[in-house]
Amino acid sequence: MSDVKEYIQKRAARDAEFAENFDAGYADFKIGVILRQARESAGLTQEEVARRLRTQKSAISRIENHADDVRLSTIRRYADAVGANFQIRVAHSQKS
């Protein structure tokens, strides 16, 4: 099981509101998780990324945990700060 799926299951089990609103917020949540994983893979703390972006740790936390209104330019800068490549892909969703 992927880290993302495992996190979703654990969080949904302990947070009823999260579970209830999961589908609507999944895309935003996934962006935050991807960013956090990129930072952790780079071996960086939120403080280190904040210094690289000349911002506060709280701003990095907000991006990783509440990525519902983050500009693409911010995501690009974040990716650069952690040494990652930023890519966008548009795909049709699969209906079940």
Domain range list for the chain:
3-81
**Could you tell me if residue 28 is left (phi over 0), alpha (psi between -120 and 50 degrees) or otherwise beta?**
alpha
Nearest alpha carbon to residue 82 among 50, 60, 54, 49? 49
Mean pLDDT of the 75-92 span: 91
Mean pLDDT of the 6-12 span: 84
Give the confidence band of 24 by pLDDT, cuts at 50, 70, 90.
Answer: low
Q: What percent of the chain has pLDDT over 70?
A: 88
Residue at token pair 């548009």: 90
Contact of 36 with 64, CB cutoff 8 Å: yes
Give the confidence band of 11 by pLDDT, cuts at 50, 70, 90.
Answer: confident
Q: pTM for this one?
A: 0.68
CATH number for the 3-81 domain, one of 3.40.50.720, 3.10.50.30, 1.10.357.10, 1.10.260.40?
A: 1.10.260.40
User: Would the pLDDT of 1 be above 80?
Assistant: no
Q: Could you tell me the sign of the dihedral formed by the alpha carbons of 41, 16, 68, 5, in that order?
A: positive
